[in-house]
């Protein structure tokens, strides 16, 4: 009996020691003078980062202790020119103390970010803190990169601007690479938190709602992307480069810089005034327009996304009872503008990736799969939440010579280059989540216990 009890104790201790904590964000202003804070929900072996451009005098008065060693936040807040921050490893828990006055604490804008141990040990996992202008190059077959924004030094006058913003420009990548922007921090949300992706995929359905095929558009031209979030992350494959800047650029009335392009409208601060995107028009060829929308309006607001054409428009309305998660909309008329508005300035949170694609060259219809075919789970083409295009006939599109469109039929991607009879096969990009189990020794202890009994 005693041996059995010992085994049960060892088994319980093993489970406790292997339980993985989630990554966490700790807001600096939550820690006040006079208290010795023991932070219990951080994982042993995780990495800690500081995202703050608060006054050095205030950061000097905040101390962290882990591994028996004290650290001043002013030392950890330093960021290299390429945006790579300082980091320390969690060992034996984390303690936070401050000697700041209450007014100094309330004025703080920064935060701490603590990863899991697995993320800290993963060479394909990276973190950037955006404090100025940083030229960033991502690489790796399946890389995850967390972006931590800091407070704008000179906040703009716009009431709906974010206090923390990443301005992303010059996004460059090859056609066989993938980049996906996601809100939150990795490890906290499910995979349905994408708000920008290139290539862009959308499904085509017949009049009965059966999946016919999936069209994949790659954009070699991307508009500057203003992302007003405290933090977010990137999932990428292959080499992807971009410039990130800690700045805000007013974009309430914006004109795209190319006929075939994609961009973003994001409300991450809850407040929002109307934004209008003016699309460049192709005077000769028709264009295809579309959007990827996730919208979580406030209780008082109805948020509208309207593609406006000369003779018709396409309207999507969302409110507190009718929100949206990664809904794709494709319109087949020539849209001149996209208007995003809210019935109340307290709009809530939403993300809208828009695109315009010139249908120049020889018309090409995407190949029809077997009626009712589905795309295997895990493929990026299934990121939507069901049929997102009005029921009707197969979408017929045409693309400029040299551009590329891919069609997915029951899991197979065929890439066709317009103007060329040659076709080639490619693999649909997938995102794999690795889940660590705390019960790695379960079978061992169960068998051993039974043997002793």
**Can you give the CATH number for the domain in which 375 is found?**
2.60.120.290
Q: What is the pLDDT of residue 83?
A: 93
438 assigned to some structural domain = no
pLDDT in tens, 48-96: 999 999 999 999 999 999 999 999 999 999 999 989 999 999 999 999 9
End-to-end Cα separation, the chain, in angstroms:
8
Q: What is the pLDDT of residue 185?
A: 94
Cβ(329)–Cβ(195) below 8 Å? no
Boundaries of domain holding 178: 152-426
415 assigned to some structural domain = yes
Q: What is the pLDDT of residue 360?
A: 58
Q: What is the pLDDT of residue 203?
A: 87
- Number of domains forming the structure of the chain: 1
pTM of the full structure: 0.78
Rounded to the nearest 5°, which phi and psi values hold at 93?
A: 90, 180
* Residues forming a β-bridge with 296: 349
1 assigned to some structural domain = no
417 assigned to some structural domain = yes
Q: What is the pLDDT of residue 388?
A: 33
Q: What is the pLDDT of residue 359?
A: 75
**Helix/strand/coil (H, E, C) string of 84-146?**
CECCEECCCCEEEEECCCHHHHHCCCCEEEECCHHHHHCCCEEEEEECCEEEEEECCCCEEEE
Q: What is the pLDDT of residue 286?
A: 85
Q: What is the pLDDT of residue 368?
A: 42
Under-70 pLDDT residues of the chain: 1-20, 155-156, 188-190, 360-453
Tell me how many degrees the CA angle 348-162-46 measures, rounded to the nearest 5. Answer: 95
58 assigned to some structural domain = no
15 assigned to some structural domain = no
d(CA 200, CA 355): 9
Q: Of 246, 267, 259, 265, whose CA–CA distance to 289 is shortest? A: 259
Tell me how many degrees the CA angle 410-415-419 measures, rounded to the nearest 5. Answer: 135
Q: What is the pLDDT of residue 190?
A: 60
d(CA 428, CA 423): 15
d(CA 389, CA 290): 10
Q: Of 3, 60, 5, whose CA–CA distance to 28 is shortest? A: 60
Q: What is the pLDDT of residue 268?
A: 85
Q: What is the pLDDT of residue 436?
A: 32
The DSSP bridge pattern shows strands 143-149 and 133-138 to be unpaired
105 assigned to some structural domain = no
Q: What is the pLDDT of residue 1?
A: 46
136 assigned to some structural domain = no
């Amino acid at each position: 009996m005693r041996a059995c009890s010992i085994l049960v104790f060892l088994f319980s201790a093993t489970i406790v020691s292997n339980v993985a904590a989630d990554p966490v964000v700790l807001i600096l202003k939550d820690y006040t003078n006079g208290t010795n804070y023991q932070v219990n929900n951080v994982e042993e072996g995780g990495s800690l980062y500081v995202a703050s451009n608060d006054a050095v005098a205030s950061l000097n008065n905040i101390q962290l202790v882990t591994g028996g060693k004290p650290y001043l936040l002013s030392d950890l807040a330093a960021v290299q020119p390429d945006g790579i921050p300082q980091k320390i490893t969690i060992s034996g828990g984390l303690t936070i103390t401050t000697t700041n006055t209450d007014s100094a604490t309330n004025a703080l804008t920064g935060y701490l970010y603590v990863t899991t141990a697995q993320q800290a040990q993963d060479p394909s996992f990276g973190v950037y803190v955006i404090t100025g202008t940083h030229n960033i190059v991502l690489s790796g077959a399946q890389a995850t990169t967390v972006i931590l924004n800091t407070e704008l030094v000179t906040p703009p006058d716009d009431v709906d601007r974010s206090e923390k913003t990443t301005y992303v420009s010059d996004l460059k990548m090859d056609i066989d690479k993938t980049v996906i922007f996601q809100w939150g921090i990795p490890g906290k949300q499910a995979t349905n938190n994408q708000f920008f992706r290139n290539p862009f995929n959308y499904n085509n359905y017949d009049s009965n709602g059966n999946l016919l095929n999936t069209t994949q558009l790659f954009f070699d031209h991307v508009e500057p992307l203003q992302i007003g979030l405290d933090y977010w992350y990137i999932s990428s494959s292959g080499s992807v480069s971009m410039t990130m800047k800690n700045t805000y650029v007013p974009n309430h009335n914006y004109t795209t810089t190319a006929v075939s392009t994609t961009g973003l409208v994001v409300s991450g601060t809850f407040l929002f005034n109307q934004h209008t995107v003016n699309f460049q028009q192709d005077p000769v060829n028709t264009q295809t327009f579309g959007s990827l929308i996730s919208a979580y309006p406030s209780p008082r607001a109805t948020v509208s996304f309207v593609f406006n054409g000369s003779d018709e428009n396409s309207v999507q309305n969302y409110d507190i009872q009718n929100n949206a998660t990664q809904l794709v909309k494709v319109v087949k008329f020539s849209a001149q503008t996209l208007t995003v508005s809210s019935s109340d300035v307290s709009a809530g949170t939403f993300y809208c990736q828009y695109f315009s694609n010139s249908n120049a060259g020889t018309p090409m219809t995407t190949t029809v799969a077997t009626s009712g075919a589905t795309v295997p789970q895990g493929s990026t083409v299934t990121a939507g939440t069901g049929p997102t295009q009005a029921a009707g006939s197969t979408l017929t599109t045409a693309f400029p010579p040299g551009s590329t469109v891919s069609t997915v039929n029951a899991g197979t991607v065929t890439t066709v280059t317009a103007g060329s009879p040659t076709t080639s096969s490619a693999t649909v990009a997938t995102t794999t989540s690795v889940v660590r189990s705390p019960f790695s020794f379960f079978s061992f202890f169960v068998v051993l216990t039974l043997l002793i009994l």
